[in-house]
Chain A
């Protein structure tokens, strides 16, 4: 249900991607979540799509007629939670007390 949705409504909050930009990505040939993501960055922000993935899936399904079951999430890669970049390179991992 998105009858209160206007083109300038933000869909991906982290990357500030609007509904209009997602529609443009679809017009440009995007057909799945990854296609929308690489064109608009929707789902690439701090929450990694936790908020918008479902909304983007809905828009794609309603615009293209694709079954939502076919719209798998874009690839999940580490880290799935925000992480300080410096932590990844460090080798101070130690045991849990």
Chain B
């Protein structure tokens, strides 16, 4: 059995940041990820981030991933790749499957940074080949350089739907339309404007009723909505070979549930999320969380939460003095507060405060 001070599950932005902070404090850190390389979703984020400079504005996700990976490596973080964590036993043993077999890591502290998964939405024909998550399409074009299709219908106008639409155009596909069930566009105006300038219509108060074709998608039926109900007579068939679903993300909290962490349902954060305190510790002592697993946000917030969890885990092992830990954590909280401002951040900030209040009450 391998032993570690801190085992982190998930090597995306949150997990890498946690690994860096814990290792910097002197912890023996094992970072587990099911993919062949660390970086999580950052490697497919070829667009530049927004915000302030200290939050990597102007930096592309892919460059940020390289920087974080290099830093983790220099600090001696042990990367265990191609390994899917499938269980946590006794709150301290992480079990994973490797290409060769299984591995067990006995861990003084565990940080869950497992991220989120794409939501689906069911309609007639949604299981046909050609219907896929927008994130999956983004992985195909930006990581594997394979176009999922040539004529695409994007369902959902949040930032994922808008950004992936633009990147599909860049990759050479034709996006026929972006449709949105709500009466207004979900994502940032700047992304929407780019999509509109490229000539792609964004149809609000619209949904998809059916994906047609045998065996794979050859067209989709869309219609107008009035108060979320289809308006009879507005159905029309659009010729597409791919329907991308960008209808939100759900925190991947299954290991937290298994470990007995209390979870709360907060729609603003994507569904059920593990309750945590200001140190990112869950209701199970020694198990911490960071990033999308405890509320779907952005890479920048995931990094700050990762730092908090890494610092807190190291401090709880006596590797940082309480004052040092306090100082570093206060700085991270200040950066988080700045990131959670504005019309998109405020709702999440309120939901996060509620989540931590539950943690205290428990």
Chain A residues in the interface with B (C-beta under 8 A): 1-6, 9-11, 13, 19, 48, 50-51, 54-55, 68-69, 72-73, 75-81, 83-84, 87-88, 90, 92-96
Contacts and interface: CB of A to CB of B under 8 A. Distances in A.
Given A80-B87, A94-B103, A9 B123 contact: yes
Contacts of B345: none
Interface in B211-229: 221, 225, 228-229
B207 A48 contact: no
Nearest to B222: A4
Nearest to B103: A96
A5 to B, nearest CB: 6
Contacts of A50: 117, 252
Contacts of B121: 1-2, 55
B154 to A, nearest CB: 16
What is the interface of chain B mostly: helix, strand, loop, or mixed?
strand
B150 interface: no
Contacts of B78: 96
Contacts of A95: 1-2, 103
Given A3-B229, A4-B210, A81-B84, A55 B101 contact: no
B207 A81 contact: no
Given A79-B86, A80-B86, A81-B34, A54 B250 contact: yes
Contacts of B141: none
B199 to A, nearest CB: 27
Interface in B179-200: 181
B265 A55 contact: no
B257 interface: yes
Contacts of A83: 86, 97, 102
A87 B84 CA distance: 13
A73 B122 contact: no
B273 to A, nearest CB: 12
B101 A81 contact: no
Given A4-B209, A72-B272, A78 B95 contact: yes
Given A2-B121, A4-B210, A80-B87, A10 B127 contact: yes
Contact of A87 (B89, B101, B181): B101
Contacts of A54: 119-120, 250, 271
B337 interface: no
A5 B34 CA distance: 34
A11 B122 contact: yes
